[in-house]
Homo-oligomer: A and B are copies of this chain.
């Protein structure tokens, strides 16, 4: 078990990555990201996590509850080991002085992005079943975080993002994803068109979710290998993208064809996951 290190100076250089958190959300963190809260921390150290932690910062009263998780022979076999990242303890006054706001949960960590994978590497090779989510122009962190949560819930293999879609490792996106942004593999492609090229290369059937779709999701036979494409709520997917995909709609009540994009995505993933979830 790593010995926790008590820090009481807000200017301690080891706390630098936690400094001025809101301002740093905007300018980026040079290969790092912030994890908040116990649920998300546990995912950062889970077997399925795709990232390494650089350090952990806890309010001292959180340590007894979390210590077993950091023990080599503790209940969490996949917890950090002896050579794991340092665990810093700092009072809430120090934490608040460093981060710039009250850290109610008293649980923070810094993760390291590492090299970003190539999208080709994340798609299960044909002819195995594959369910991949493709996001085009989604700039809202709540929506992107929500979609990662839904992708995890329905066992999607990967999420592919066009260049305009916002960062899944943005602090709020991780939180809204309930930590799924740390476990569901993702990669960037240049554009929606590049996503379609990937689909073609990997024998994925591209499905564009749109209120004007000619096929009903409810009667669609889920293709064993699918790329589900989602665009923004207002303008939707670009025509050039939809032209190369099967357009699929979700049935809705007349006069109110408005669902949140993360919600639409959940309904479609739930349908497409089909037999993957062990159901009829």
Contact = CB atoms under 8 A, between A and B. Distances in A.
A277 B263 CA distance: 18
Contact of A267 (B155, B252, B270): B270
A81 to B, nearest CB: 21
Interface in A64-114: none
Nearest to A39: B258
A211 to B, nearest CB: 10
Interface residues of A, number: 35
Contacts of A26: none
A218 B280 contact: yes
A149 B263 CA distance: 10
Interface string A147-170: 001101111000000000000000
A268 B259 CA distance: 14
A193 B88 CA distance: 47
A216 interface: yes
Nearest to A176: B260
A183 B253 CA distance: 13
A180 interface: yes
Given A218-B279, A219-B279, A279-B219, A153 B259 contact: yes
Contacts of A23: none
B146 A263 contact: yes
Scoring A218, A250, A255, A256 by chain B CB atoms within 10 A of each residue's CB, the highest score goes to A256
Interface of A: 48, 146, 149-150, 152-155, 178, 180, 183, 216, 218-219, 250-253, 255-260, 262-263, 266-267, 270, 273, 276-280
